[in-house]
Amino acid sequence: MAAIELKSLRDDFSIPALGQGTWRLGGATERSSGENDVADVAVICRALEAGLHHIDTAEMYGAGHAEELVAAAIADFPRERLFLTGKVWKNHLRAGEVVAAAKESLRRLKTDYLDLYLIHQVNLEIPLGETLEGMNRLVKEGVVRHIGVSNFHRTRLLEAIALSPAPIVANELHYNLQVREAECTGTLEACRANGVMVIAWRPLRGVALDVPLVTELAAKYHATPVQVALNFLISQPGVVALVKASDPRHLAENVGAASWRMEEEDVERLRREYPGQRSVSEAVPLL
């Protein structure tokens, strides 16, 4: 299958409009028993075959086991066609720890570099400048191509931009039809204004789609409600999305959302009229 289209806000960085998540593959915060490993590797392989070449993972997922499963899935996939995102967990945010954590991730992933490395969550006990010192060392050493943040509120994002010699190219945020914290806090706007790509996580889980406006737009675009939910995100300038689908039918439906774009006025209608919007993420509020 053809690869998903790339999006870009700056000359030196582009990223696929839709990527595959790996949260809960190989365990949640702890390593799984391993009984689902074969099936979990197959999930990632199918996503790659379907054209989702952005794989999002983190050292925290399955306490490192998700990265080992990704390694198995990408072993025979051309590295240059892959876009691999990793994240450093908030217990490793001292400069030296950041560098060591990234190198451990590469070892588990059996690869030479990450395309994008993110500070997974804010840790108020560690000065941001210290973490960014480690992140910048990784860029200089070629361990990671680009750096960014995740779950960063507008204010802290601007602080990171000011402190980091290497550009902050992305902010991974809980953003979907229902969870609008990124909009309400001005974080989405600040990202766009500073050339920072928003990578929307959890575009589907918990999002009500049995809604007349969604049904109406699904009919208009000959699409499914799920595809409308994904398109609300990827049709916006400066926004890409991550979705985790284990079921092959879900994967096919999601990939089917990536080849078209919604008209701007329909994005704006969903922005205004989608019912039951929340101004704060119940999972990871912005800090």
Ligand X SMILES: NC(=O)c1ccc[n+]([C@@H]2O[C@H](COP(=O)([O-])OP(=O)(O)OC[C@H]3O[C@@H](n4cnc5c(N)ncnc54)[C@H](OP(=O)(O)O)[C@@H]3O)[C@@H](O)[C@H]2O)c1
Contact residue for ligand X among 226, 239, 240, 267 (CB under 6 A): 226
Rounded CA-CA distance 133/127 in Å is 10
Q: How many residues bind ligand X (CB under 6 A)?
A: 24
DSSP state of 209: -
Q: Which stretch binds ligand X (CB under 6 A): 97-105, 108-116, 177-185, 250-258?
A: 250-258
Minimum distance from CB of 193 to ligand X (Å)? 21
16 is a contact residue toward ligand X (CB under 6 A): no
Contact residue for ligand X among 27, 134, 203, 238 (CB under 6 A): 203
228 is a contact residue toward ligand X (CB under 6 A): no
Nearer to ligand X, 21 or 195 (CB): 21
151 is a contact residue toward ligand X (CB under 6 A): yes
Tracing tokens 């998540």 back to the chain, one arrives at 21
Residues 40-79 binding ligand X (CB under 6 A) are 56
Task: Sort 44 into a burial class: Cβ within 10 Å, 0-12 / 13-18 / 19+.
Answer: buried
Q: Which stretch binds ligand X (CB under 6 A): 27-35, 67-75, 122-130, 202-210?
A: 202-210
Nearer to ligand X, 132 or 149 (CB): 149
Long-range pairs for 92-97 at CB < 8 Å and ≥24 separation? 92/59, 93/119, 93/123, 93/126, 93/130, 93/131, 93/134, 94/126, 94/130, 94/131, 94/134, 95/130, 95/131, 95/133, 95/134, 95/137, 96/134, 97/134
Q: Which stretch binds ligand X (CB under 6 A): 17-25, 31-39, 139-147, 213-221?
A: 17-25
Nearer to ligand X, 30 or 264 (CB): 30
Rounded CA-CA distance 234/219 in Å is 19
Which residues neighbour 9 within 8 Å (Cβ) at sequence distance 6 or greater?
A: 192, 195, 196, 197, 237, 238
Cβ(98)–Cβ(138) under 8 Å?
yes
Rounded CA-CA distance 122/93 in Å is 9
Q: Which stretch binds ligand X (CB under 6 A): 109-117, 122-130, 153-161, 197-205?
A: 197-205
Contact residue for ligand X among 53, 54, 180, 202 (CB under 6 A): 202
The two tokens of residue 176 are 């979907």
Contact residue for ligand X among 14, 36, 123, 246 (CB under 6 A): 246
Contact pattern from residue 258 through residue 287 relative to ligand X, giving x for each residue in contact according to CB under 6 A and a dash for the rest:
--------------------------x---
Rounded CA-CA distance 31/131 in Å is 26
Give the footprint of ligand X on this chain (CB under 6 A): 21-23, 56, 120, 150-151, 172, 201-205, 226, 242-247, 250, 253-254, 284
